[in-house]
Amino acid sequence: MNWDAMAVVGRIARAHGNRGEVIVNLETDFPQDRFRPGAEVFIERRGVVEALRLARVRFQHERPVLAIEGVETMNDAEALAGFELRVPVDRLAALPAGTFYRHELIGCRVETGSGAAVGVVKDVEGTVGGSRLIVDGGSRGEILIPLAAEICRAIDIAGQRIVIEPPEGLLELNA
């Protein structure tokens, strides 16, 4: 398995209880589908990609609490804190037209409608209802751009390009 070709679906926050369970901070819009008994997720530990099979799953305050096969004690669970959980991209659900996974947007060039280069997307923050692109603007620094249809006029995943029409002053906020 190629770690870099996988999509992040969560991050283990901490151990929960004394039976080896962990709480996960979500990075997926489909937690009920992704985190279910029998599902397989992956971590990278010391340069090796390891598969983890979920034995039990419950949700507490909208976050999954996972029991992982082979993780039996609080110490075992604590050793997993901070690890990203990923899945191969071919296991992701198909999205409706006009919606994108975060990993698809990272690395896209951002430019204005007139062709002026803005930078490259290095991350996406927020939720489905209010996401923003974090763009590396080079010498201009980090630029935050709302991921909204009024601003992001064209998103070409295959071409790794996002065309924006920023409102006046948006690109100068970090200057």
Q: Are residues 58 and 106 in the same domain?
A: no
Whether residue 15 contacts residue 81, with contact meaning beta carbons closer than 8 Å, is answered with: yes
Place of tokens 């071409």: 159
For residue range 126-148, list pLDDT tens digits in order.
766 678 999 998 888 899 999 98
Q: Are residues 14 and 65 in the same domain?
A: yes
- CATH number at 140 reads 2.30.30.240
Residue 19 maps to a domain: yes
Task: Using alpha carbons only, give the angle 154, 156, 157 rounded to the nearest 5 degrees.
Answer: 140
Q: Are residues 80 and 121 in the same domain?
A: no
Residue 174 maps to a domain: no
Please state the rounded mean pLDDT for residues 26-37.
Answer: 87
Whether residue 56 contacts residue 69, with contact meaning beta carbons closer than 8 Å, is answered with: no
Q: Alpha helices of 79-140 — where are they, by DSSP H?
A: 102-105
Model-level pTM greater than 0.75?
no
Domain count, the chain: 2
Range of the domain at 24: 3-91
Q: Could you give the CA distance from residue 49 to residue 53 in angstroms, rounded to a whole number?
A: 13
Which of 66, 91, 116 terminates a domain? The answer is: 91
What does the pLDDT read at residue 127?
67
